[in-house]
Structure 1
Amino acid sequence: MPEKDLRVELLSMTPNSLELLYAAFRQCYHAGFVADMWPRLINGEVDKEKQAEFVSKILESGHTSPIEHVSFTFAVEGISRACSHQVVRHRLASYSQQSQRYVTESDMDYILPPAIAKIPEARERFERFMEEVGSAYKDLREILVNAGREDKANEDARFVLPQAAETKIVITMNCRSLIHFFNLRCCQRAQWEVRKMADEMLKICKDNFPAIFRYAGASCEQLGYCPEAERFACGRYPTLKQLTAK
């Protein structure tokens, strides 16, 4: 049962994403039918820099709904079940997660929190418990199989697995949902593991679609102030109350 590291890979993004958003934004302010300009867009007859500039300008006005037409799909491994439970609370997304019911966890990988890893006695106790869990899982599964419950052994034995158990998941979000996800999960107040995952996803988004994600990140980085109450603020940015105080 080895410790597992985070890995985030981009599987897919909407083809012709810039052209699609340009067309969607243009339709909102254009009397004609954007399908008529679509061939020119995908054939490169309209300058991409001008498209990106137009999209960025409209976004600055607060008009963001058209960016929902473009989505990203990520494959993620090396996160804990504790982390995945936080991620799936973001409802405007699609998820396909590795099942503990169908995948045998006899050689379960796990996630080791950094705060535990740096304290020798804490790490030793944590790793010893992971071994105990692994042994209990194997014993229970074997007992269930021997009792004639082989096809259901995994789904019952999994009840002893910890939140530290490593999981793999495929995530699809549109750009608007991703920006909201980054607002919350790139924040210093977010739990360390989901923040690490969000930071990796944000790097990928910035590399692949800078016109949309150039300024994406924690809410404070976009607003210029911390939207949290003072008792929750990390201090990187002043709170709104501090900014407006007379």
Structure 2
Amino acid sequence: MSEVKARVELLAHTPEPLSLIYAAFRQCYHAGDVADMWPRLLAGDISREKQAAFVENIMASGHASPIEHVSFTFALSGVSRALTHQLVRHRIASYSQQSQRYVDASDMNYVMPPAIAANPKARERFLNFMDEVGSAYRDLKAMLEEDGRGSSSCEDARFVLPQAAASSIVVTMNCRTLLNFFEHRCCTRAQWEIRGVARTMLSLCREVLPEVFRHAGARCERLGYCPEGEKFTCGRYPLPERRS
């Protein structure tokens, strides 16, 4: 058993993402068939600058549904079950997560919160508990195997595993879902672990498709004020009623 840190990898994204979004937007306002335009886009006859300007202008008007045609797939590892429980609440997405039912967790890795790591007494108690969990899991698994459960013993032994247990998950989101995800999870009010993962995902998205993700992030960064209200604001941006 050992402590692990989050790792975020971009596995794949829709090919020619800007051109595909441009074509989808153009179809909404174009009398012809964008299938006839597609070869020209791939050949570079319509510059990236022209495509970007068109896409950003239309998105600024509030029309965003065509960006759903482009998706990004990430592999997240070294993240806690606490994080993945938050992640899967973003429902317009696809997930494939490492199963605690089938994967033996006898040597479970774990994620330690920074606040606990910074407190010597809390850190010691946390590590002791991780050892206790590991011991209980292995004992229960062995007892169930003796009862003839075989490899299926993992599915019941897992009930003692904590939210700190490390996991791996593959997630695919379209651009519109990603923008919403970043609005909520890049906010300083988001839980520290998923906020860090979201910011890394955003950085990777910006490298591929800056035209869509240049202004993505916490809502306050786009709005110029904090929409969370006086009770929850972090103070980085003024509240609506305090704007000049």
Equivalent position SS for 2:44: coil
Counterparts of 1:224 and 1:111, CA distance in 2: 34
SS at match of 1:37: helix
CA distance in 2, matches of 1:24, 1:187: 30
Q: How far apart in 2 are the matches of 1:36 and 1:154? A: 55
Q: CA deviation at 1:241?
A: 2.7
For residue 177 of structure 1, give the secondary structure of its aligned residue in structure 2. helix
**2: CA distance, partners of 1:54 / 1:185:** 28
Q: Distance in 2 between matches of 1:234 and 1:37?
A: 47
The answer for the alignment partner of 1:134 in structure 2 is 134
Over residues 103-136 of structure 1, what are the superposed CA-to-partner deviations in whole Å (9 max), with x where a residue is unaligned?
Answer: 0000000000000000001000100100110010
**Equivalent residue number for residue 34 of structure 2:** 34
> Matched residue of 2:243: which SS?
helix
Alignment RMSD (CA, Å):
0.8
- Distance of 2:241 and 2:110 partners within structure 1: 42
Aligned counterparts of 1:165 and 1:227: Cα–Cα separation in 2: 34
Q: Look up the match of 2:229.
A: 229
* Equivalence map 1:88-237=2 (5 Å): 88-237=88-237
Seq. identity, %: 64
Residue by residue, what CA displacement relative to the aligned partner does 1:78-113 show, whole Å, maximum 9, x if unpaired?
A: 110011000000001000000000000000000000
Tell me by how many angstroms 1:42 deviates. 1.0
Letter in 2 for 1:79: V
- Runs (4+) of structure 1 exceeding 3 A deviation are none
Query: C-alpha displacement at 1:186, in angstroms?
Result: 0.2
The alpha-carbon deviation at position 60 of structure 1 amounts to 1.0
2:226 aligned counterpart, secondary structure: coil
Structure 1 window deviating more from structure 2 (77-86 vs 39-48): it is 39-48
Offset at residue 46 of structure 1 (A): 1.3
Shift of the alpha carbon at 1:139? 0.6
2:65 matched residue in structure 1? 65
Q: Letter of the aligned partner of 1:223 in structure 2?
A: L
Alignment of 1:71-86 (within 5 A): 71-86=71-86
Partners of 1:8 and 1:22 lie apart in 2 by 28
Q: Secondary structure at the match of 1:196?
A: helix
- How does the TM-score come out when normalised to structure 1? 0.98
Query: 1:242, CA displacement in angstroms?
Result: 2.3
Shift of 1:5: 0.8
Q: Distance in 1 between matches of 2:33 and 2:152?
A: 56
TM-superposition CA deviations, 1:12-50 (whole Å, max 9, x none): 100111110010111111111111111111122211111
The offset of 1:147, in angstroms, is: 1.1
Q: What SS does the corresponding residue of 1:204 show, helix, strand or coil?
A: helix
Structure-1 separation of matches of 2:100 and 2:218: 32
Partners of 1:28 and 1:162 lie apart in 2 by: 49
TM-score between the two structures when normalised by the length of structure 2: 0.98
Q: C-alpha deviations, 1:157-215, integer Å up to 9, x for none?
A: 00000000000000000000000000000000001011011011011011111010001
